[in-house]
Amino acid sequence: MRFQLLGPLSIANGDETAVLKPSKPTSLLAALLLHPNSVVSTGYLLRALWDEEQPATARAALQTCVLRLRRIFAKYGIDGAAIESVPGGYRMHASDRTLDLVRFRALADTPAGEDAEGELYRLKEALALWHGPLLANVASRMLHRDALPGLVEERLRVLERVCDLELAAGQCRQVLVDLWDTVRDHPGRERFAEQLIEALYRTGRQAEALAEYRAVKERLHDELGIDPGPGLQRLELAILRAEDLGPLSPAPRAALPAPARAQLTAAGDPSAALVGAPEEPAPTGARPARVAATATALTVQVPRTVTAAVPAAPAPRAVPGFTGRVRERAELARRLLADGGEGALVVVSGAPGIGKTALALQTAHEVRDSFPGGVTVVTMSRPDGSVLTSEEAAAQLRPAEPDTGRRLLVLDDVASGWQVRPLLPAPEGAAVLLTSRRGLAAVVATHGGAVHRLDVLPAADSRSLLAALLGEERTAAEPRATAELAELCGHFPLALRIAAARLLTRPGLTVAACLDWLAGNPPARLTLAEDPRLSVPAVLGQALDALDPEAGAAFLHLGAEADGGIVHPADVPERFGDAETVLEQLAEAGLLEDGPPGPYRMHSFLQLYARWHHRTKSAEPAAVPH
């Protein structure tokens, strides 16, 4: 059992989560968990429950609330002794295994000697613990007023550090994903605005960067009567001069505030918690000092002339561990090189996670010598699922240098035909390789070309992929478990790579043990927290969110009801609309295969996901009032 505080207050057991109803015991639990392993005074708890309008029987009622809370604990198999009565108040023991707030602070703390890559991985894992509106089911006005701002501040400090590290690592597009909403939600934090503007400029979007600066400047002037800080002003000057910002070193790491660090110590040693605390304990909600990273504002490097707004993309490398797809690679190469590759157009389509990108990049790597003008790869979507506009994509398609020869353009993860039609025919007669969940039939109909629809890997190729990623020795030692793991993953390359990554990061874990754990809930457990692109729920969820609501609901219904994955129009209830239209939408989105004149087919792994998603949504409690 574990408590989840970084969202609606809930109790989780494995993959099942119970969101508590708004009540006095729920507010009491929140007040205790906000100060884990510390004595929380009776006066503080009384204010958390009744604010300044305490009844005459408040202290007796508090004891009753404690008893009610212990009964709730018994319902979920939690020892009532977890709430300890001590002189002056109560204390709630928690560790990083039983409370997400303690886990978050442990991850946000800075181990000595850790490199930037490790720190970024750890901080992203910390941010992934936040799962919705903070304490939405806790009715305490006092906690929302006094404690929540401090928790929000802790999260923003971590997000600020993550963006610093991503900028330093050159991951400017990921910074944009992280910051768009954050800048709007927290307009008073200039550092976020500074990071967003810098990321826009470093990705060649100078006009947008200047527009964002001017919006920040106007807001600060209108609302506070002040000008932007020195960091923003220096950044604006660098953009106006088209200066090269140069490499950025991440700002020094900021240590946890003293209350949080003390609670981490107490989590490891309950006896270290303060006994006999003052009537009002130092609340974790107290707003900590401004992050040190803010003080170390961006300094512009020695000016150098920017020679190109968008640097040339390097030629694609071989995809690590790529195996199989021999026939598909040969066919793609034949199509791309036909007539010298002049004006060739090929679409690779298929279900989410089925390996379209890997096949396209591997093929591009193998034929690169036949394109002396170079290979340019443009990802047509962002990690959050939003799509690039045609203009943004065109800005990344660098012009070919004169007399260099024919080129190959790889446009990956195309959302629909409207996104790429303005880019076709390709400049200088370049060959174009598109990947998309959709068939892009309209594009092929108007511009010619061919469509290759990918299916799941054959069983032998799935095992070969696991062997290539894990090593032949490890898979040969457990051939049966390896084959069963491939089957569990539905022979989807995305799922296979996630499972392999989990095994690679745990050298002592056997394939059989990993298989047993994943089998308990495959769709939910096939995920890597640090990257939404390596998460089955995230990737398939984005595909589902892109559908009309009726089509998405129909997919979940068919996944739960389809017999052996075979789907007929008669299987679509009338409430979802015209059956043929709905099925064609699902097939076009890559969630169904085949179709008229025969029946449609749903991959077994997609059906497993649909059943899990349907079951999860059905089990969700009703929304609680704020």
Q: What is the mean pLDDT of the chain?
A: 81
The model's pTM: 0.51
pLDDT grade, residue 589 (50/70/90)? Answer: confident
Mean pLDDT across 509-516: 93
Q: If 0-12 CB within 10 Å is exposed, 13-18 middle and 19+ buried, where does residue 128 land?
A: middle
pLDDT grade, residue 4 (50/70/90)? Answer: very high
**Residue 527 pairs with which residues in a beta bridge?**
535
Please report the pLDDT score of residue 119 as a whole number: 87
Q: If 0-12 CB within 10 Å is exposed, 13-18 middle and 19+ buried, where does residue 52 land?
A: exposed
pLDDT grade, residue 248 (50/70/90)? Answer: low
Please report the pLDDT score of residue 417 as a whole number: 86
Task: Report the range out of 11-15, 170-174, 519-523 with the highest average pLDDT.
Answer: 519-523
pLDDT, tens only, 90-140: 999 888 899 999 999 999 886 766 788 888 888 989 999 998 888 889 999
Between residues 279 and 229, which one has the greater pLDDT? 229
Task: Copy the structure tokens of residue 485.
Answer: 């793991």
pLDDT grade, residue 312 (50/70/90)? Answer: very low
pLDDT, tens only, 212-226: 888 888 888 887 788
The residues, ordered by sequence, that sit 6+ positions from 115 with a Cβ below 8 Å of its Cβ are none
Mean pLDDT across 545-567: 84
Tokens 């076709």, residue?
424
- Give CA separation, 263 vs 254, 363, 480, 565, in Å: 17, 53, 46, 51
Please report the pLDDT score of residue 419 as a whole number: 87
pLDDT grade, residue 550 (50/70/90)? Answer: confident
Please report the pLDDT score of residue 341 as a whole number: 66
Angle, helix 493-504 to helix 511-519, in steps of 10 degrees: 120
Is the pLDDT score of 61 beyond 80? yes
Give the range among 158-167, 169-178, 246-255 with minimum mean pLDDT.
Answer: 246-255
Mean pLDDT across 577-588: 88
Q: What are phi and psi of 347, to 5 degrees?
A: -110, 130
State the chain's maximal CA–CA distance in angstroms. 90
Please report the pLDDT score of residue 249 as a whole number: 55
Mean pLDDT across 567-576: 89
pLDDT grade, residue 402 (50/70/90)? Answer: low
Q: Cα 467 to the chain's mean position, in Å? A: 27
Mean pLDDT across 421-447: 87
pLDDT grade, residue 9 (50/70/90)? Answer: very high
Mean pLDDT across 574-600: 86
Please report the pLDDT score of residue 443 as a whole number: 87
pLDDT grade, residue 489 (50/70/90)? Answer: very high
Is the pLDDT score of 287 beyond 80? no
Computed on alpha carbons and rounded to an integer, the radius of gyration of the chain in Å comes to: 28
Task: Report the range out of 205-219, 481-495, 556-570 with the highest average pLDDT.
Answer: 481-495
How many residues are there in the chain?
626
Please report the pLDDT score of residue 458 as a whole number: 93
Is the pLDDT score of 332 beyond 90? yes
pLDDT, tens only, 254-278: 444 444 444 443 444 333 333 333 3
